[in-house]
Chain A
Amino acid sequence: DADVTQTPRNRITKTGKRIMLECSQTKGHDRMYWYRQDPGLGLQLIYYSFDVKDINKGEISDGYSVSRQAQAKFSLSLESAIPNQTALYFCATSDYQGGPQYFGPGTRLLVL
């Protein structure tokens, strides 16, 4: 079984809709991250969380919000989706500060 899972894997939505992307991990890591990847580009950090009570904005947090429901669960919400949020979204975890990150399979989001 995968250590980091993301649901859904693919999602098509319309402009203005609220959607939630979910991430679960069985690695027991405290640190979790949400990134977006646009075609041909690297990853940009949206939000990160070092434990259940600690949530921080990344480089591109505008238009996004997150919820850390438990150590194992970290959700990303788009309050009112817009077309330029069309991208591949990844969740990741890490065991210690600056350590290797373990990525989920990604959610491909299309906003029409």
Chain B
Amino acid sequence: SQQGEEDPQALSIQEGENATMNCSYKTSINNLQWYRQNSGRGLVHLILIRSNEREKHSGRLRVTLDTSKKSSSLLITASRAADTASYFCATESNAGGTSYGKLTFGQGTILTVHP
């Protein structure tokens, strides 16, 4: 079963607009990460936010984490055509108090940015 569920499944916007993707998860976590995948290629790590953090920035990326709601959002500001990709959240669960460092990935959001 998938720990992370992304919403929406697909998002289509114009260049320059902001893109927001959401991720919900089920168990308590140590951290949550976001990855990008260009079509058929390997995933690229974007940002990691720890469970005691509420917001993190990296360039045009802004990630928020609400552990009480078990949810996270990824905001890409001023999107570009090159941002077109699938975006995945991944969680490191500490359910049961034990973490083995494994990540559980959601099914992803397909983002299309039109020039």
Contact = CB atoms under 8 A, between A and B. Distances in A.
Chain A, interface SS category: strand
Given A88-B40, A106-B40, A40 B107 contact: yes
Contacts, number: 61
A64 interface: no
Size bracket of the A interface: 20 to 34
Contacts of B103: 45, 98, 101
A42 B108 contact: yes
A94 interface: yes
Contacts of B43: 43, 90, 92, 101, 103
Interface residues of B, number: 25
Given A42-B106, A43-B88, A98 B99 contact: yes
Given A41-B107, A42-B107, A42-B108, A90 B102 contact: no
B33 interface: yes
B103 to A, nearest CB: 6
B42 interface: yes
B2 A42 contact: yes
Interface string B80-115: 000000001010100000011111111110000000
